[in-house]
Amino acid sequence: MSTAPSSGIPLTTINEPYVAEDIDRGTFLVNRRAFVDPNVLSTERDVIFDKCWLYLGHESELVGKGEFLTRKVGGRELIFVRGQDNEARAFFNTCPHRGAMVCREKQGNGKMFRCFYHAWTFDLTGKLIQRPEGERYSEAAQAGMHNLVPVARLEQYRGLYFVNFDADAVDLVTYLAGATEYIDLTIDQSEVAMEIVGGMQEYGFQANWKLLAENSFDSYHGLPTHSTYFDYVQAAGGQLGESLGMNSQPRDLGNGHAVIEYSAPWGRPIAKPVAAWGNEGAAECAEILKRLEERFGKERAERIAYNNFNMVVFPNFVINNIMAITFRTFFPEAPDKQHVKAWTLAPTDESAAMRERRLYNFLEFLGPGGFATPDDCEALRLCQLGYQNLSAAGWNDISKGMGQDPVISNDEEQMRVFWREWDRRIAGAVA
């Protein structure tokens, strides 16, 4: 980690570090070239997206044998499938013959994959089982060299499947480190299982991917950027504290992952009602809380029921467990463009009324048409436009809370955790 520039925030040059941290002065600066330089993105693809564990999907998306989905992860087109043996597998979605995508459907159920181009056909284990005029191929080509190529690593934790394109990567649980605690808090909301509800939302916008990583656990922007929503929360019977995020500390979870956890000012469709849910909603929440206490004890039950958290699993997997549960991934398409996928998660055993409250919460705040997401996209787009001035104003300041005791969630320590890991990987690649 380089020391910060000696005075002010200087102009940036090609020889400047990307991250400049000065603990003595309490400053943490990020070079804006990190958001605009195509060479940076190329390096990120090599040392981050090709080396880190990346979220692929949830077990509930492949319930039955033969179910499959196709998904682009880390710039790679993949097939995620549950075989007739009930094993989940992931393959690169490319025919070993001439490279065409083997599966064109977003999801479905079947017993084989058939390439549109030359009709090469593969079973759900990826094995080539048929090709027209196969006898015209050499003995070597008959010996299995033409099966679908599996991803290097596919592992799951609590039903969340991740891929890694590096065969030598550490195992998933080791990589997740302290993030497993918060995945557990999410999955333990159900006595039975959790499921993805309502498919997937997809959208893109003009901003560097790291801006969304920062924003995903940034409490500091909440009240000014989303003031309309918080006015609505108060009108609906929610209770805002002095400042959102003031009642907790950020946590470094290891390996670049970080979280902010805080008391919920809004209704949570687990066991925290608001006045708008009426007596029926309050009674149902009380019953859910009782069952949580029987399973986990009072302290953990109240944490599951009442506390929000926003967590980023490095580099680009977000769990927003707030007024609803959102899984979100985002991948760069260019230095100034990203593609976002988002899902909502819910207990399979919740009532129809609670499911309705959950989906309403999700759509009103978290979806691309909600209160929050359009605000966030616009704020990050404006940042990206501002970086056109990097020759005159070259550094972002992420110093809030440095040297303070305690550091609170309204500060920026969680973002510094992300950037330290990013810088470690990038600096190692260019050293």
pLDDT for res 180: 98
Q: In terms of DSSP H, where are the helices of 177-333?
A: 179-187, 209-215, 222-225, 227-235, 278-296, 298-306
Rg of the Cα atoms in the chain: 23
Q: What is the mean pLDDT of the chain?
A: 90
Token pair of 14 as six digits: 């090609």
- pLDDT score for 237: 57
What's the pLDDT tens digit per position in 277-306?
Answer: 999 999 999 999 999 999 999 999 999 999
* Distance between CA atoms of residues 316 and 215, nearest Å: 12
Q: What local confidence, expressed as pLDDT, does residue 25 receive?
A: 95
123 DSSP β-pair partners: 112
User: Residue 264: is its pLDDT beyond 90?
Assistant: no
At 224 the pLDDT is 65
Packing angle between helix 278-296 and helix 298-306, nearest 10 degrees?
140
Residue 212, SS3? helix
Q: Band of the pLDDT at 11, cuts 50, 70, 90?
A: low
Q: What is the arithmetic mean of pLDDT over 123-147?
A: 84
User: Using the 8-state DSSP alphabet, how is residue 60 labeled?
Assistant: G
Q: Is the pLDDT of residue 23 over 90?
A: yes
Question: Residue 112's pLDDT is what?
Answer: 96
Phi and psi angles of residue 264, each rounded to the nearest 5 degrees, phi first? -80, 125
Choosing among 3.60.15.10, 1.10.3720.10, 2.40.340.10, 2.102.10.10, the CATH entry for 54-164 is: 2.102.10.10
Q: What is the mean pLDDT of residues 88-114?
A: 96
Q: Is the pTM for the entire model greater than 0.85?
A: yes
Q: Do residues 83 and 148 lie in contact, with contact meaning Cβ atoms separated by under 8 Å?
A: no
> Helix or strand or coil: residue 119?
coil
The helix-helix angle for 278-296 and 352-361 (nearest 10°) equals: 100
Q: How far is CA 376 from each of CA 74, 267, 368, 425, rounded to the nearest angstrom?
A: 23, 22, 10, 27
* 171-224 pLDDT, tens digit each: 999 999 999 999 999 999 999 999 999 889 999 999 999 999 999 999 876 566
Residue 316 has pLDDT above 90, yes or no: yes
Q: What angle do CA 113, 115, 120 make, to 5 degrees?
A: 90
Measured distance CA(144)–CA(324) in Å, rounded: 47
Q: Please say if the pLDDT value at position 242 is more than 50.
A: no
Lowest mean pLDDT among 47-51, 116-120, 266-270, 345-349: 266-270
Domain edges within the chain: 54-164, 188-430
In the CATH scheme, what architecture does the domain 188-430 have? Alpha-Beta Complex (3.90)
Q: Are 72 and 101 in contact (CB under 8 A)?
A: no
